[in-house]
Amino acid sequence: MITKLLRSGSLSKRIAFLYSGLFILTFGTLIVVATGGIERYAAGMISDEMRSNAKAFEKLLELESKNMSAASEILASDFGFREAVALGDKPTIESALVSLKNRLDVPNAFIMTLAGDTIGLQDALTNSDTDSLWLALDEGADSGLIKINEQYHGVVASPVEAPDLFGWLVVGKPLDQAEMAQLSELAPIELTATVVERSNLSAALQSSIDSQIEISEKGDRILYRTSGLPALSSNHQPVLLLRYSLSEALSAYRPITWILISLSLAGLLVIIGAGWLLAKGITRPIAKLDKAAQLIRAGQRKKVTINSSDEIGRLAESFNQMVDAIVEREDEISHIALHDALTGLPNRKYFKDHLESAMKKCSDTNLVAAFYLDLDNFKSVNDTLGHPVGDALLKTVAARMEEVLDGLLLARLGGDEFAILVDGAPSSDDITLLAERLDRSFGKRFTVAGHEMPSTSSIGIAVAPHDGTTSEDLMKNADLALYKAKNEGKSCYRFFEKGMDEQAQKRRQMELDLKLAIEEGQFELHYQPLYDAHLEKISGFEALIRWNHPDRGLVPPVNFIPLAEETGLIVPIGEWVIQEACRQASQWPEDIRIAINVSPVQFRSTGLRAVLLQALSRYGLAPERLELEITESLLIENVEDTLKVLHGLRAIGVRIALDDFGTGFSSLSYLRSFPFDKIKIDRSFVVDILQDKSCADIVQAIIGLAAALGMETIAEGVEEQEQVDMLLQRGCNNIQGYLISRPINGVSATDFLEQASQSNRNRKTA
Ligand code: C2E
Ligand code: CA
Ligand code: CA
């Protein structure tokens, strides 16, 4: 328990406890040693006193008997008395004895005759005692103790000669309680003296005659001293017994112990108090530091004030410096956590937090709007001018927006995406006005690192409470509106509309389905023959992808290719197309080519070249049998990069065809930028070629230019024989279209090839 107390709890308690413990130990030992010493010293002193008292006692007894014998000798030598004794004059003898007794104040004085008779003895003496006394006197003894009337008497005897020895004058004084008490009073210490028969003593006392012994009686320490006394009768062995209570004597010294103990207790209290104060003094600042450290751990910024210049004061100073450093770093971290490093604008989290609190106060007359902005051309700036210019553009755009926003919260969500929070607009007109102002601000060109460049932005807007009641909903809906703005030609703003949500969900589901389709191999390729009308033979097939959806059946590519391009899933899908088309083509005769559509996204992805090489070598397909169909859109942006890739592909040996020529941005000048192997004239020209003269003229021009540049041409979507005739007439002898065949699966395509070569052979033999 003590160790537990020492280990746990507060430091001050421990210090105080330790102090008092040490004090108690020291003083406890001191008291024990001191009281032991005092007791031993006192006992020694008492024992010495006892010894000298006993001597004094013996001397007193001796003195008394000397007194008595002096008086009795005077009487014994008195002539008249001796004569009275010689004559047997009893009255005279008795009267002399009475006056002796009175003078000496003793009760007994008598004559013991030589014959053993007693004259004048008042009290009884037993016969054996009488004989014994006589014997002792006869042997010359003159003092000692005898028992008269069962009571010890100190006795002296003087011979009475008349003139021959007649007997002895014996005088005895009782050594009774009164006498002994009287004697004891003369002693400086309070002892009790008694004369007892030796045989009546306890064994311990009997064995220590003429010495001192300590005996414990009922818990008291008693000191005894015994000394043998001379007897005038061999019947008795009287002993002087002095009894002294050591406990009582020592109790005189008890107060000293008590004083010591009380002094110690008082000292202990002082020490506990002082220890406590001292400990408090030391630990109070430590406790303060402890508390402050705990507060800091709990996230509060707490400094301590300790006014001392000792170690603890210095510790507190360091602690406060540490708090400052923590605060500074925390501020820095939370700034970093809530801001974008490039533009210094608040980031997505910051935006979301503020949107959340704004949403709490929003109402029909206090609208909250989230604007999502996405730069339209940012990727190409990054790709063509490099990231440093891209970064500088972002900063410039941010700065211009801030001018327009006039204090509204502008955040950078990441990449080229920004968000604006309108916290409290009275009506939606205000929001529209802001959208217009913002849109207009992108009308002016930006000057970035010496470059003058246009940069537009698509803007999506969602307004609470109408378009959502949670920040998540509002952000999601602003994003949907942004998506719409992008889809509807960019460089514009769109408000969120109900229904966008549903479209988005469908799109999302489709995306998930597409991923699954890749994993589970739900795609298949169909093949449409490319027919050489001049040679009247099949020159190849165009591979066209189909999605065999488990619920929706065969899904045509227009319904999923755009999404696959947006999500990047076109890259793995396109890879599969290349592998599958090469595999199929490798089973066909060597003069049959295979045309594969390559999406712009796939074209720009790294690794296209490696995939092609790998597929060609895997199926042992000659590169010139492979034709890649790319679209014009690739030639509008990043022309240089596109050309680089095209030359790289050409170096492998594969053929390159320009698909859908004549649509969109078409310009005949593109044909000069790269030596394409083939131009595919778009179906839209073929459809009208018979009715529309200008169409026919354009087709004529394309064919002419291509021929001049040494490129083949092929017409797509040919459905009628008249179209073929017209095309042949204009110089285009390659035909693709339903007229020859719809796209068919691999097995049918192989059959188709066999039938075609069969009928060819038939024709030749015919
Ligand atoms: P595209 O490259 O222009 O392919 C020709 C499209 O015209 C095919 O449509 C074909 O079925 C259709 N067609 C051919 N002859 C006729 C005709 O006489 N009359 C009519 N009305 N249509 C005809 P499909 O298969 O639906 O493909 C549509 C587009 O999907 C393709 O246009 C191509 O851009 C894309 N696509 C198809 N397969 C792939 C692929 O594997 N990869 C990529 N990236 N795109 C593909
Ligand atoms: Ca094509
Ligand atoms: Ca086409």
- Cα 667 from Cα 47, distance rounded (Å): 142
- Cα 48 from Cα 682, distance rounded (Å): 145
Q: How far is CA 713 from the centre of its chain?
A: 75
Three-class secondary structure of residue 508 per DSSP: helix
Q: What is the pLDDT of residues 626-643, one digit of tens each?
A: 999 999 888 877 888 999
8 A C-beta contact, residue 402 and residue 659: no
Q: 184, 247, 249: which is closest to 45 by C-alpha?
A: 249
Question: Residue 757 is inside which H or E element, if any?
Answer: helix 746-765
Mean pLDDT for the stretch of residues 36-62: 79
8 A C-beta contact, residue 306 and residue 312: yes
Give me the residues near ligand 2 (ion), CB cutoff below 5 Å: 597, 629, 659
Does residue 627 line the site of ligand 1, with CB under 6 A? Answer: no
Report the nearest-CA residue for atom 27 of ligand 1: 557
Please give the pLDDT value at position 590: 96
What are the CA-CA distances from residue 488 to residues 186, 366, 371, 482, 493 (Å)? 138, 30, 17, 10, 10
Determine the residue type at 630: I
Residues 30/31/36/38 CA torsion (nearest 10 deg): 100
- Cα 533 from Cα 712, distance rounded (Å): 13
Q: Which two tokens stand for residue 672?
A: 């000069």
- Cα 2 from Cα 5, distance rounded (Å): 5
8 A C-beta contact, residue 634 and residue 380: no
Determine the residue type at 562: P
What are the CA-CA distances from residue 723 to residues 661, 679, 693 (Å)? 17, 18, 13
Q: 476, 465, 478, 377: which is closest to 425 by C-alpha?
A: 465
Q: Which two tokens stand for residue 37?
A: 């010493």
Q: What is the pLDDT of residues 305-347, one digit of tens each?
A: 878 788 778 888 888 888 888 888 888 888 888 999 999 999 9
Report the nearest-CA residue for atom 3 of ligand 1: 660
Q: What's the CA angle centered on 228, arms 222 and 232, to 5 degrees? A: 140
Q: What is the pLDDT of residues 515-547, one digit of tens each?
A: 999 999 999 999 999 999 989 999 999 999 999
- Cα 35 from Cα 48, distance rounded (Å): 20
Average pLDDT, the chain: 87
Please give the pLDDT value at position 515: 93
Q: Which two tokens stand for residue 359?
A: 């949403």
Does residue 580 line the site of ligand 1, with CB under 6 A? Answer: no
What are the CA-CA distances from residue 463 to residues 362, 368, 434, 437 (Å)? 10, 6, 13, 17
Does residue 717 line the site of ligand 1, with CB under 6 A? Answer: yes
Asked if pLDDT for residue 622 goes beyond 90, the answer is yes
Burial tier of 246 (Cβ tally within 10 Å: 0-12, 13-18, 19+): buried
Q: Which two tokens stand for residue 569?
A: 């899933």
Determine the residue type at 119: I
* pLDDT greater at residue 316 or residue 419: 419
Three-class secondary structure of residue 732 per DSSP: coil
Please give the pLDDT value at position 201: 85
- Cα 146 from Cα 195, distance rounded (Å): 11
Asked if pLDDT for residue 665 goes beyond 70, the answer is no
Q: Which residues pair with 169 in a beta bridge?
A: 111, 158
243: how many CB neighbours lie within 10 A of its CB?
16
Please give the pLDDT value at position 300: 79
Please give the pLDDT value at position 527: 98
8 A C-beta contact, residue 374 and residue 490: no
Q: 206, 192, 200, 195: which is closest to 229 by C-alpha?
A: 195
Q: What is the pLDDT of residues 131-174, one digit of tens each?
A: 888 888 888 888 888 887 778 888 888 888 877 888 888 888 88
* pLDDT greater at residue 57 or residue 449: 449
Lowest mean pLDDT among 258-272, 570-584, 689-703, 714-728: 258-272
Mean pLDDT for the stretch of residues 279-284: 76
Please give the pLDDT value at position 32: 84
* pLDDT greater at residue 178 or residue 375: 375
Lowest mean pLDDT among 44-48, 213-217, 468-472, 559-563: 44-48
Asked if pLDDT for residue 128 goes beyond 80, the answer is no
Mean pLDDT for the stretch of residues 38-62: 79
Please give the pLDDT value at position 578: 98
What percent of the chain shows pLDDT beyond 70? 98
SS3 breakdown of the chain: % helix, strand, coil, rounded to 5? 55, 20, 25
Asked if pLDDT for residue 15 goes beyond 60, the answer is yes
705: how many CB neighbours lie within 10 A of its CB?
16
The position carrying tokens 């514009």 is: 492
Lowest mean pLDDT among 161-170, 271-280, 409-418, 575-584: 271-280
- Cα 527 from Cα 747, distance rounded (Å): 10
Q: Which two tokens stand for residue 570?
A: 């076109």
Q: Which two tokens stand for residue 237?
A: 């062995």
- Cα 359 from Cα 6, distance rounded (Å): 56
What percent of the chain shows pLDDT beyond 90? 43
Mean pLDDT for the stretch of residues 247-269: 81
- Cα 669 from Cα 675, distance rounded (Å): 12
Please give the pLDDT value at position 345: 95
Please give the pLDDT value at position 666: 54
Please give the pLDDT value at position 4: 66
Report the nearest-CA residue for atom 15 of ligand 1: 737
Q: Give the pLDDT band of residue 9 (cuts 50, 70, 90).
A: low
Most trustworthy range by pLDDT among 35-44, 132-141, 181-190, 616-625: 616-625
Mean pLDDT for the stretch of residues 497-515: 85
Asked if pLDDT for residue 573 goes beyond 60, the answer is yes
Determine the residue type at 362: C
- Cα 227 from Cα 218, distance rounded (Å): 24
Does residue 468 line the site of ligand 1, with CB under 6 A? Answer: no
Q: Cα of 19 to ligand 1 centre, how many Å?
A: 97
Q: Cα of 527 to ligand 1 centre, how many Å?
A: 10
Q: Is the preceding peptide bond at 426 cis, omega within 30 degrees of 0? A: no
The position carrying tokens 């003296």 is: 193
* pLDDT greater at residue 574 or residue 105: 574
Mean pLDDT for the stretch of residues 432-460: 91
Report the nearest-CA residue for atom 4 of ligand 1: 544
Asked if pLDDT for residue 40 goes beyond 70, the answer is yes
Q: 650, 576, 588, 572: which is closest to 615 by C-alpha?
A: 576
- Cα 7 from Cα 352, distance rounded (Å): 49
Q: Which two tokens stand for residue 641?
A: 């990069």
Q: Give the pLDDT band of residue 269 (cuts 50, 70, 90).
A: confident
Question: Residue 46 is inside which H or E element, if any?
Answer: helix 11-76
Does residue 578 line the site of ligand 1, with CB under 6 A? Answer: no
Does residue 659 line the site of ligand 1, with CB under 6 A? Answer: yes
* pLDDT greater at residue 711 or residue 262: 711
Residue 553 phi/psi, 5-degree rounding, is 75, -150
Note the helical H segments in 368-499.
378-385, 387-405, 428-441, 471-487
Asked if pLDDT for residue 7 goes beyond 80, the answer is no
Q: CB-based contacts of 68: which residues, under 8 Å, 6+ apart?
A: 104, 106, 154, 156, 171, 173
- Cα 56 from Cα 40, distance rounded (Å): 24
Q: CB-based contacts of 116: which residues, under 8 Å, 6+ apart?
A: 130, 131, 134
Mean pLDDT for the stretch of residues 675-683: 94
- Cα 314 from Cα 357, distance rounded (Å): 44
Q: Cα of 81 to ligand 2 centre, how many Å?
A: 184
Residues 29/33/35/38 CA torsion (nearest 10 deg): -160
* pLDDT greater at residue 237 or residue 686: 686
Q: 182, 183, 115, 173: which is closest to 149 by C-alpha?
A: 173
* pLDDT greater at residue 654 or residue 222: 654
* pLDDT greater at residue 606 or residue 501: 606
Does residue 50 line the site of ligand 1, with CB under 6 A? Answer: no
Does residue 737 line the site of ligand 1, with CB under 6 A? Answer: yes
Please give the pLDDT value at position 6: 60
Mean pLDDT for the stretch of residues 88-102: 86
* pLDDT greater at residue 45 or residue 447: 447
Please give the pLDDT value at position 2: 61
Q: Cα of 680 to ligand 3 centre, how many Å?
A: 7
Q: Which two tokens stand for residue 290?
A: 């402890």
The position carrying tokens 């406990």 is: 247
